[in-house]
Chains A and B, each alone.
Chain A
Amino acid sequence: MQDWRNYKKVLLPDIPNLNQIEVYEANGGYAKWKEVITGTGTHTFIKREEKVLEDGTKQVIETKEQVPYSPKVVVDIVKSANVRGRGGAGFNAGLKWSFMPPKKEGVPRYLAVNGDESEPGSFKDRRLMEFNPHLVIEGILFACYAMEMDAAYIYIRGEYVDYLNFLEKAVFQAYQKGYVGKNILGSGRTIDIYVHRGAGAYICGEETSLMESLEGKRAYPRSKPPFPAQRGLWGCPTTINNVDTMAQSALVMRYGAEWYASIGAKTHPGPFLYGISGHINRPGIYEYPTGMLITDLIYKVAGGMKNGKKLKAVIPGGVSVPILRADMIEGVRMDTDSLAAAGLDIENGKYGFPLGNRKLGSMMGTGGMVIMNEDTDMVKLVRRISQFFHHESCGQCTPCREGTGWLEKLIIKIDEGRGEMKDLDLLFSLTENMEGRTVCMLADASAWPVRATIIRFREEFEAKVKNSVYAVS
């Protein structure tokens, strides 16, 4: 990994008024978009071939080829950069783009941009909307061009009304300059961008639910298949990407896929917005490469623990990902692979989080890191988390609608000292009956924090419950 200390910020650079289009343009903004849409620029495509020479040695021959920016070339560039979706799932964005079916005349195609950031602990998209909205818009334009789309709808959570205004102003400026709209810069292409305000529902961050909401319905997630690329918004091919992913794609186009892939962790590259909050001296969004050591982020970046307290636990990427104990984070880096293996070497993996047929440390999620000190009551924490999911369950599927309520009730019972030891087993059995049995991932997301916290802080739960079995004496 390159030296993170000398990292130069690109997502949220320290340039005053960067959310004004003139400032953004003066710093290289929309230059690549002009090249791509007007067909004036070319992409240097490097082909590497391995040849076996007569004496048996191998030689790599590089050939360079200049190709115009066709939609397919743009998809290939983003795919080869391995931009992993920043919404939490971490899927290769370019690969997702390539799932769109071939363009049919007369069938519109849409991009839905997910700015519904509601995962507790995450607050990075809000900063992008305020401080660098044009980077998001430029990314949206590249995505629409690459997938031959007609319009993009940016879905922003209702609470972010101030930040939505920043983005709306930026969209307006981009329209005025002719980067968006009809016949963009004389190219004959039309791409419209609309901003849509949500009204307070966590579930709208789920991609199919977001589409239902955009269509003006109650936001119940849809079953997949059909996948959005086949039947999405208004029955037409659609791709859903996170606001942050759009900004990342714009950077890939501007600086190149090789540059992007060289930043941070090999399997999860790129600039990353770490949202650090909780019992920490300097909470905030920090931009660094992926693959940072969690300990560096806590002590060297965010100024260490508040009031000199001891670290107890870290949630590395938003509330749904498994919580890590302080003794599990030594040497762990913020990338998918390192987090997956976190703490598994402790006592034969007793803190391993069983998921499918493997054991897991944790996940990257949204990169919203919550740091907790020694005074944090883990039962109370899980109680509040369960309350959140119970409140936010959309009520469509029974295991989730009922299950989230039962999780909350049981944990309240334990927290208030009325619980029994067998309730811990009941909680496990409940979570197992919720996971994977619903249309969307909310049931899983609500079950994971409960299961992970009990596995990793069992002693705190046991201390609050009464024995179920009493010795006869």
Chain B
Amino acid sequence: MAGYTSHSHQEIDNTKYEFTEEELKQVQYHISKYPDKQSAVMPVLWMAQEKYGWLSDGAIQLVADSIGLSFAHVYGVATFYTMYFKRKMGKYLLEICTCLTCGICGGPEVLEYTKKKIQANEEGISPDGLFWVREAECLGACDTAPVMQFNNGHYVHNLNNDTIDKLIDEVRKGRLPEFVSIPLRDQSIIDD
């Protein structure tokens, strides 16, 4: 990757950033959805992040080149949204909500417990680099507070210290959480 300076990362990055034929077709599909190719930047950033785990300068340059935009524009977009990772962190991100409802229903305590459990450093990363814990803003699952989003994907509902213990053990064994559908409430009325 010539022609850019490294903004966020001091080490020399030897990764070869490239989309396969199949992925390039996917990029073209994203471009075709909108009247202007610039709109494809968010979906293609998602593709790059899923492929490389995070958005290094090289990955951002790849997104820019494959759509035909400037590095600066794509970099600007990538740095605006919190779900795009601009740094290489732990392998699995545990985002624990401590916002409004989760905040009053034990979210902050679960967050503290999780940090201790994985022996997180100041940045929230475990010594083995497997886990990365971060405080989340409202995830929109207040009925099952406190809630966690696992690695930008599935939600883990109704957290407490036991569920955290179980989750960490399972992930260490290579079993990742699955999607859990929370059934609708039955609307039986309670009268005194």
> Is the Cβ of A279 less than 8 Å from the Cβ of B104?
yes
Query: If the complex has contacts A216-B77, A301-B189, are A197 and B46 also in contact, measured as CB distance less than 8 A?
Result: yes
* A side interface size, CB within 8 A: 69
Q: Mark B134-146, 1 if CB is under 8 A from A, else 0.
A: 0001111111110
Say if the beta carbon of A399 comes within 8 Å of chain B.
Answer: no
**Separation of A119 and B43 alpha carbons in the complex (Å):** 23
Shortest B168–chain A CB gap in Å is: 21
Q: Render B71-113 as a binary contact track against A, CB cut-off 8 A, 1 for contact.
A: 0010011001111100000000000001111011100000000
Q: Mark A194-214, 1 if CB is under 8 A from B, else 0.
A: 101111111000000000011
| B4 CB within 8 Å of chain A | no
Set of chain B residues within 8 Å of A388, measured between Cβ atoms = 99-100, 137-138
Known contacts A131-B184, A197-B46, A216 near B143 by CB under 8 Å: no
Pairwise interchain contact A285-B189, C-beta atoms closer than 8 A: no
Determine if B98 and A384 form an interchain contact, defined as CB atoms under 8 angstroms apart: yes
Contact among A130, A196, A279 for B43, CB-based, below 8 A: A196
| A contact face: mostly helix, strand, loop, or mixed | mixed
Interface members, chain B 157-192 (any A CB < 8 Å): 179, 181, 184-187, 189-192
Q: Closest residue of chain A to B180, judged by CB?
A: A162
Who on chain A is nearest to B149 by CB?
Answer: A159
For the complex, is B16 an interface residue (Cβ under 8 Å from A)?
no
Stretch at the interface among B20-28, B31-39, B122-130: B31-39
| A121 and B101 in contact, given A199-B83, A234-B35, A286-B187 (Cβ under 8 angstroms) | yes
Q: Is the CB of A201 within 8 A of B140?
A: no
| Known interface pairs A126-B141, A384-B98; A162-B38 also in contact (CB < 8 Å) | no
**Interface residue count for B (Cβ, 8 Å)?**
51
Residue B6, interface by CB 8 Å:
no
The answer to whether residues A215 and B104 also contact, given A120-B137, A285-B143 and a CB cut-off of 8 A, is no
With A200-B82, A216-B77, A279-B104 already in contact, the answer to whether A123 and B140 are too (CB < 8 A) is yes
Q: Is the CB of A161 within 8 A of B42?
A: no
**CB distance A126 to B140 under 8 Å?**
yes
Which partner residue on chain A sits nearest B186 by CB separation? A14
In the assembled complex, A428 has its CB within 8 A of some CB on chain B: no
* Complex interface: chain A residues within 8 A of B36 (CB): 215-216, 234
Distance between Cα atoms of A304 and B145 in the complex (Å): 17
Verify A9–B187 contact, CB threshold 8 A.
Answer: yes
Interchain CB contact (< 8 A) of B42 among A14, A117, A196, A283: A196
- B100 interface neighbour in A162, A202, A384, Cβ under 8 Å: A384
Using a CB–CB distance below 8 Å, which chain A residues touch chain B? 5, 9, 12, 14, 108, 117-123, 125-127, 130-131, 157-162, 194, 196-202, 213-219, 234, 275-279, 282-288, 299-301, 303-304, 315, 319, 368, 370, 372, 376, 381, 384-385, 388, 391-392, 394
Q: Which residues of B contact A (CB under 8 A)?
A: 33-36, 38-43, 45-46, 73, 76-77, 80-84, 98-101, 103-105, 137-145, 149, 152-155, 179, 181, 184-187, 189-192
**Can you give 22 A-B contacts (C-beta < 8 A)?**
A9-B187, A121-B142, A123-B141, A123-B143, A194-B34, A199-B42, A200-B81, A213-B42, A215-B39, A217-B77, A219-B80, A219-B81, A277-B143, A283-B144, A285-B185, A286-B187, A300-B191, A301-B187, A301-B190, A370-B101, A384-B99, A384-B100
18 further A-B pairs in the complex, CB-CB below 8 A; given A217-B76, A301-B187, A315-B100: A118-B138, A120-B142, A122-B142, A131-B184, A158-B81, A161-B153, A194-B34, A199-B45, A199-B84, A200-B82, A201-B82, A216-B34, A216-B38, A217-B38, A286-B185, A303-B190, A384-B99, A385-B100
